[in-house]
Structures are given as structure tokens and as C-alpha cells.
A and B are shown apart, each in its own frame.
Chain A
């Protein structure tokens, strides 16, 4: 396992409020990691920093074997380097068909002129069908994404992430709005992905995290306060304190 992403000593504050405070985080390839923490712990800000949406005040974010800094790259460049992100609120192109959503996400050249002359090849078609089966939307390929249920939109966004074929997947609350059965399917899907990808899952639902059966990083007030297996971190007094209140 080689180091894929290394976040070191990162801090960021908004109007004096320290959202992230001297945070360090490392993930290898392949690996699955769950990030938990109470509201306002800085989980989403952490993802914003890695994906280039927010610039940290201090610290380094290094990527890949060569250790390239992500801080000077735009969101789109970071995404092309191989970091995919699923947002907390499902964000899909509601006005477009499921098929078109997946087609836009497919890993292909991203320039405007490539897009103008793009044709759906047999391979593209096969890949879209394959992903549709994986996310359970085979029967909905022709429908507009806007009429899907909340859980289906979540899956479509995960499917777009699959189509993008990133090295690192940042997944923000994937199980929200899903039935138990759907959650189990999602957890299985993420686990399978983690065999060949690095996957970071932010989640509130402990049952879901338990099912992921992976290393857990606990965030609180912008810093890592514990790391290890779920059983291990849940046994630490500080974590219990943070979660249950003092």
C-alpha cells in the first residue's frame, strides 16, 4: 500500500472561526477510511480543502507517489488528477436523463472541443450499462434524474463517481435517505471499491460505519482526536465525551 494523499498541519479559519485546526491525515491506495465527528467538526471543510474548493491558511496537501501539492491546482485539475467527490446533498443534473448524467461523468477528455465531437462508443455504452446495473438504475436510464427518489439520486451520484474512475473517492454521507436494504448495498459497493481505490466516507450513521468495517478517523473542532478501529475509538473517553456531551 502506497500513500496516495497526505494532508499535513492544515489550518483554515473563516472570520476568526477555526474550522480546521492543524489537521493531518494520510490515506493509502487501496484503503477505506471512515471519518466521523459531531456537526461542525470540519468534515465537509476537510473535503473542501482536498478538492480545492477552500484554500487552507497553512499546511500542505500532497498527492500521489510524486507528492505533488494540490494547493496550486483548480477544482477541475484536482478532479482530473483523480479525486472524485460525492456531496452531502445529492447533486446530479436533474434536468438531464440518468444516461446523460453518467455520460458526462465518464472518464474521457474534458476539453470543450472533445466534448463537441464526442460520440458514445460501444465501450462507453457498455460501461454506462454496467454502472447502471451496479447502482440499480438500469430501468431508469432514459428518465430525468430530477424525478428519481432521494436514495436513487444518491446512487446516481455514486454512479457518476464510478464513471469518473478516480483514484480517491470522497463520499459525504452516502447513506442518507436510503432504506436499510439500500444502505447495505451501498456499504457493500463501497467496500468492493476500496479493494482497488482509496475511499474516504464521511458518515453520521454508526451502523453504516460498522458495516464498512474499516479504520475510523474521529474529527472534533477541526482536529483529529482519535484514529483506529471503530471499537477502539469508541472506547476512548475523549470520543465518548465529544459524542455524548459532558
Chain B
């Protein structure tokens, strides 16, 4: 298979090998299957990091390759989380209700169970009936379908409107910010059906897997996240390594030239934007069961900006750059903002890393821009060039 993607894009076999090694390493250090050097919560952090890497990969497709600086991609990530979250909450709550009602002398009807479940979920926002958007929340299959369909359709409609009007550059970035802000504000309202600012919680309890325990589940989710990232990487590399990739990079560098070659530029942008939104949806659906909770704050505009910063720090237009950027920055962020980093007492002032992390990140961004304009991954170029002149 001389034409295989593993041969055509040299980063693919290396990436898969590194990812497999990391997965093995985490397994051997995990509490359930190995030495237990890693805690359950840290295993989850690592799994979540892989999901963020997948989202960054999707971001690199639209920004690094197609030149569309979307500052609203976390909306798709969050929507993926909400879609799977509805099923998780429904199934889990229903199981608890059934267990409670099993004691009662008269067996409950299905309608009673459904009503009690709805009351349990929605009483926090003063409602007791199922909102329309929970219509398929009892079906895992349909919920999984929505994980890709809802972000996909939103991206398709938004992209169609924006690209058709030839909105580009900073104007498009502002529109995408507006999109994620609008969605976030909408979800913050209590009566929109997704529990307002309470969000969806208890997502770490996987229905039907109560007996398994979080120590094993955390490793399983890590594996699933690694698998998704690996598949996403191979798929993205395949997409950008062929003629499609040439055209998309052409759109980034000289949109007019591509147009005058007869290519429907808008359709290409739409395909890339929608695909990348769907990948983000999958990443979100894997992330939030590990995080345990999702609320509208997750899709605030700043989250999408962070996503762009990760890709910029890692290095645009090379796939592994996005992954490296997301992994390094989000892990550092966890380290500094979760209290793991010891505060430094200077006598007259105490450096609290939670407050200083944004400064550190900003400084890092400036340094990378100045001294490694191609990002952290761009530094590999020097090594590779030395090997084969």
C-alpha cells in the first residue's frame, strides 16, 4: 500500500505510536489496572486532555488548513456534551427512580416513572415536564446520533449563511464569537430545557455500569478518548494529504485563485467547517462524562479563544502541532489552577498561581509568537532538517 496514509503523511505512524505508548503508560500506572501511581481523578484529567486535543485537531482543520479563524468552536464541543448528557441524566435518574419505587406495594406505570424522572431532573428549574429537546433522551443510539448531528447542522446552517455572504477574516471570527455567546446565554436561561445554569450533572455515573466503579471507568474513558483522537488524527491526515488538502490550503492562501480555477470555495469551506464541528461534538461527548458536569459556562466565548490559543502555541497547519499545544497548555493550566502548584511566598507578596496563570499563559503566547512563530511543533522542523538536508 504505497498510497496508504501511513506512508503519505509521515507524522501519522509516529503519532499513533506515541499515542499507543501514552495509553499503555497510563494503563500501567492506573489504579485499576496497574501500580496506582495515577489517581482516578488524574486519569480522568488525562482522558479529558485527549478530548481537548481532538477539539484542537478539529480547530486546526478549519483554521490551520482552511484559514477560517473560528472563535466559536467550543459551542460544538459543548453541544456534543449536552447531547450525551441528556441521555446519561435520563437513564441514570430513571434507574434510581425505579429502584426507589420498587419498594412500593403497587408497581408503578411507565407514565409514573417518566413523570417522576422528569420531576427529579427539572424541579431545580421549577419545571416538571419533559422539554421537547429531551424527546430522544431515552435512546442511547439516537443521542449518539445527535452528538454529531446537532453540531453538524448548526455548523452547516451558520457556515452556509456566513460563507455564502463571503464573510471572511476578522468579521467571521466575530460572528463565531457571537454564535457561541448567544448559545451560552440562551442555555443560561432556566426555561430553555437544559436546566439553565445548573447544567447537567452526575454525568460520571454511566447507566448500566454502576458495578464497575470509577477507577476502571476512568481508564476505559481514557482508552475511548485515545481511540477517538487516533481515529480523528488518521482521518484528518487523510483529508489534508490528498488533493482536497491542496485545495483547502489553496483557499487559505489565495481564495480568488481557487475560485478562478472553478472550485466552489463556499462548498469546500462548508465541508471543512461542518466536519470539524462534528469532530468537536464527539470530543465533547467523551469529555463531559469524565468531567461529570456541563453547564453553559463551558461554552462562554473565552473557551473558544483558548482553543485557538492552544493551536497557535502548538503550531498551525500540521495537526500534531494542535495536539501538542492543547496537551501542554491544558495540562499546565490544570496544574496551576487546581492548587497543585505550590504558591510562592515572597514575603511582601504571595504569588498565587490561580491568579497568575492567565498572565503566565499570555506571556507564553507572546514568547512563542516571538521566538517560535511556527509554534512548539515548529521546533521539530529544525531537528528534521538536520537529519535529511
Contacts and interface: CB of A to CB of B under 8 A. Distances in A.
Interface string A51-67: 10100000000000000
Contact of A110 (B239, B242, B254, B264): B264
A91 B247 contact: no
Contacts of B242: 115-118
Interface string A186-204: 0000000000000000000
Contacts of A96: 246, 249-250
Interface stretch (B9-17, B78-86, B209-217, B255-263): B255-263
Interface string B262-275: 11110110010000
B261 A115 contact: no
B244 A110 contact: no
A118 B244 contact: yes
B104 interface: no
Instruction: For chain B, give the interface size range.
Output: 20 to 34
A119 interface: yes
A118 B259 contact: no
Contacts of B271: 112
B243 interface: yes
B261 A104 contact: yes
A160 interface: yes
- B239, B243, B244: which has the most chain A beta carbons within 10 Å? B243
Interface in A120-135: none
A104 B253 contact: no
B267 A79 contact: no
Contacts of B259: 74-76, 79
A76 B246 contact: no
B165 interface: no
Given A76-B265, A94-B253, A95-B249, A85 B260 contact: yes
B387 interface: no
| Secondary structure class of chain B's binding surface, majority of residues | helix
B3 interface: yes
A104 B262 contact: no
Given A112-B271, A116-B242, A93 B254 contact: yes
Nearest to A107: B262
Interface string A73-109: 0111101100011010001111110001001110000
A94 B242 CA distance: 17
Given A95-B249, A118-B242, A112 B261 contact: no
B386 to A, nearest CB: 20
Interface in A206-228: none
A92 B256 CA distance: 10
A148 to B, nearest CB: 15
Contact of A112 (B244, B254, B262): B244
Contacts of B262: 76-77, 79-80, 110, 164
Contacts, number: 77
Contacts of B239: 116
* Interface size range on A against B: 20 to 34
A59 to B, nearest CB: 21
Which of A75, A77, A79 has the most chain B CB within a 10 Å cutoff?
A75
Contacts of B243: 103-104, 115-116, 118
A111 interface: yes
Interface in A137-160: 160
Given A100-B246, A103-B246, A119 B267 contact: no
A96 B244 CA distance: 13
Contacts of A116: 239, 242-244
Given A94-B253, A116-B239, A119-B3, A110 B263 contact: yes
Contact of A79 (B249, B253, B261): B261
Contacts of A115: 242-244, 247, 268
A49 to B, nearest CB: 14
Given A79-B262, A110-B263, A111-B264, A92 B247 contact: no
- Max count, chain A CB within 10 A of own CB: residue among B243, B250, B262: B262
A26 to B, nearest CB: 22
A124 to B, nearest CB: 10
Nearest to A146: B253
Contacts of A94: 253
A39 B244 CA distance: 39
Contacts of B250: 93, 96, 104
Nearest to B267: A112
12 contacts: A74-B259, A75-B259, A76-B264, A92-B254, A96-B250, A104-B243, A104-B261, A110-B264, A115-B247, A117-B242, A118-B244, A164-B261
Given A79-B262, A93-B249, 16 more contacts: A74-B259, A79-B259, A79-B261, A92-B257, A93-B246, A95-B253, A96-B246, A96-B250, A103-B246, A104-B247, A104-B261, A110-B264, A111-B264, A112-B267, A116-B242, A119-B3
Interface of B: 3, 239, 242-244, 246-247, 249-250, 253-254, 256-265, 267-268, 271
What are the 7 A-B residue pairs with the smallest beta carbon separation, nearest first? A79-B262, A118-B243, A80-B262, A115-B244, A116-B244, A75-B259, A91-B257
